[in-house]
Amino acid sequence: MRRSLLGRVWPGATAVVLFIGFAFPVYWMFATAFKANKDIVADTPVWFPTSPTFEHFETAVNADGFWTFVGNSFAVTLIAVGLSLVIALLASFAVARMRFKGRKSFILVMMTAQMAPWEVMVIAYYMIVRDAEMLNSLVPLTAIYTVMVLPFTVLTLRGYVAAVPKELEESAMVDGCTRAQAFVRVIFPLLAPGLMATSLFGFITVWNEFPMVLILNKDAAAQTLPVWLTGFRTTFGDDWGATMAASSLFAVPILILFVILQRKAVGGLTSGAVKG
Amino acid sequence: MSAQLKEAAAEPAPRISKGGAPPPRRSQERAAKSVPYLLILPAAAVTLLLLGWTLVKNGMLSFQNLNPRQLIQHVTEWNGVENYQEALGSADFWRVTGRSVVFTGANVVLIMTLGCLIGLLLARLGTKLRLLLLLGLVLAWAMPVVAATTVFQWLFDQRFGVVNHVLDALGWHAMADFNWTSGQFSTFFVITVLIVWQSIPFVAINLYAATTTIPKELYEAASLDGAGPWKQFTSVTFPFLKPFFLATTFLEVIWVFKAFTQVFAISEGGPDRLTETLPVYAFVEGMGNQHFGMGAAISILTIVILLALTAYYLRLVLKQEEDEL
Residue A124: per-residue pLDDT: 94
Residue A232: per-residue pLDDT: 83
More confident residue, A137 or B175: A137
Given a cut of 60, is residue A3 above it in pLDDT?
A: no
Residues 6+ apart with CB under 8 A from B85: none
CA distance A127 to A133: 10
B137 CB neighbours in chain A (<8 A) are: 22
Question: Is A261's Cβ below 8 Å from some Cβ in B?
Answer: no
- Tell me how crowded residue B250 is: count the other CB atoms within 10 A of its CB: 21
With an 8 Å Cβ cutoff, are A45 and B165 in contact?
Answer: yes
- Tell me how crowded residue A195 is: count the other CB atoms within 10 A of its CB: 18
Distance from CA of B78 to the nearest CA of A (A): 15
ipTM given for this complex? 0.86
Question: Is B167's Cβ below 8 Å from some Cβ in A?
Answer: no
CA distance A199 to A261: 10
pLDDT in tens, A63-89: 888 999 999 999 999 999 999 999 999
Name the residue in chain B with its Cα closest to that of A93.
B39
Question: Is B203's Cβ below 8 Å from some Cβ in A?
Answer: no
Predicted TM-score of the model (pTM): 0.86
Distance from CA of A108 to the nearest CA of B (A): 7
Residue A61 in contact with residue A191, Cβ under 8 Å?
A: no
Closest CA to A106 of B39, B22, B248: B39
Task: Residues A64-275: name the CATH superfamily.
Answer: MetI-like (1.10.3720.10)
With an 8 Å Cβ cutoff, are B43 and A113 in contact?
Answer: no
**Among B247, B303, B314, beta carbon nearest to A120:** B303
Mean pLDDT for chain B overall:
86
List b or e across A156-166, with b for residues whose CB sees 16 or more CB atoms inside 10 angstroms: bbbbbbeebee
**Among A29, A122, A246, beta carbon nearest to B283:** A122
**Among A19, A119, A215, beta carbon nearest to B287:** A215
A45 CB neighbours in chain B (<8 A) are: 162, 165
Kindly list the structural domains of chain B, giving each domain's residue range(s) and its CATH number in brackets, ordered by start.
2-61 (no CATH), 91-324 (1.10.3720.10)
CA distance A170 to A173: 5
With an 8 Å Cβ cutoff, are B140 and A22 in contact?
Answer: yes
Sequence ranges of chain A with CATH classification 1.10.3720.10: 64-275
More confident residue, B238 or A144: A144
**Residue spans of alpha helices (H) in A98-210:** 103-114, 122-131, 138-163, 166-174, 179-182, 188-208
